[in-house]
Amino acid sequence: MERFPPSKSIAFVLLLLAACAHYAEANPGRRHPIRSIFSFGNSYTDTGNYGKLAASVLPVIPFSNLPYGETFFSRPTGRASNGRLILDFIADEFGLPFIPPILGEECNFTHGANFGVIAATALGLGFFLEKNITTVPPFNSSLNVQLEWFRKLKPTLCSTPQETTSGDLSFMGEIGGNDYNFIRAAGETNEQVASYVPKVVQTITAGVEAVVEAGARYVVVPGILPTGCIPIVLTLFASPNKNDYDARTGCLREDNAVARYHNTALLEAVRRLRCKYPAAKIVYADYYAPVMAFLKKPATFGFSATRSGLRVCCGAGGLYNYNATAPCGLPGATACPDPAAHINWDGIHMTEAAYKHIATGWLRGPYAHPPIFDAVHP
């Protein structure tokens, strides 16, 4: 067998070490102790639960039809996008498989479970019905319901609470945005909608406490998107007054103000939670900033700079290519040929390309405080 001279052997070892260091830097998720992910939330996280819940109530479920899922899966999976969601990209970074929906066909939750449901709210169904707000779905998939699913699943995953403290990453949302949207759709003003923010934030805070006290060590708490930049909101609440719109982005000012109020209150709640639970690593994840960055500098992120960033990829015409009578997934709506050049997929949800950028910003910064990788570093 050929032997290397000492100098060449040393050089080879150094080269090997450099290559390993480069691999570790390029794949930081593989260095961290995350063995499973548990996710709560709404359509920005749901990977198939809504289809199971709504099947007995709704005759047609758009998310169960193409072109949903066309980009990555080549079939609809229950995700409200053309492909993967933020949760999918983060799971991949940690070397985990796609996190299965709790109501799906999968029975193996070794690597976590997804409790998120399209159209889910932070507040319970009873709260809305008491206030005669009937714009909510006719089944209860609120945060407390999702937490109850989690409580029932947890004993099947481990024999002691301590077994979950070092390897679980929990996502508490996005949730809360639907609460405000349903209240707004019921005819209340933005000023009235804002009055619900403290109750919504308190409910999310209680949810975080529940998973931390159940043993979660790493928790990500996302804020909500700039609601005034969502095409369905821009379409349903269009204003004849140009001053109601931000001149640079075209978003509705007052709706975005409610979103900022929620996010500020939630961030303050996260800070208090960190003091109360110093052993837990609690991350605030920002949806608002990246979406505004996409709209202000689309070309920087690979999105089209020649069309409005508010224009929907899968739609049926109109100013924003969104038509409530012909939503994506139903007859009359068609998908654009270049979804990766679009920010918004269907008038409510974003494209896989947008979600990938946000996932990167949550993992490495600057759109999470602290970045997830920093929080879970051994």
Catalytic residue among 32, 262, 342, 349: 349
CA distance 88 to 357: 12
Of the residues 46, 88, 168, 346, only one is catalytic, namely 346
Contact 63, 51 (CB under 8 A): yes
Length of the chain: 378
Interatomic CA distance for residues 363 and 117, integer angstroms: 23
To which residue do tokens 């609440």 refer? 237
| E-strand stretches of 87-197 | 112-114, 168-172
d(CA 263, CA 197): 9
For residues 350 and 81, the answer to whether their CB atoms sit within 8 Å is yes
Strand segments (E) across 56-194: 112-114, 168-172
* CA dist., res. 327 & res. 350, Å (int): 14
Annotation says 346 is catalytic: yes
- CB of 223 closer than 8 Å to CB of 287: yes
* Active-site residue identified among 43, 81, 142, 170: 43
Cβ burial 322-333 (10 Å sphere, 16+ → b, else e): bbeebbbbeeeb
64 is catalytic: no
Tokens standing for 83?
């492909």
Q: What are phi and psi of 176, to 5 degrees?
A: 120, -35
Geometric angle at alpha carbon 289, from 286 and 295, rounded to 5°: 140
| Catalytic positions | 43, 346, 349
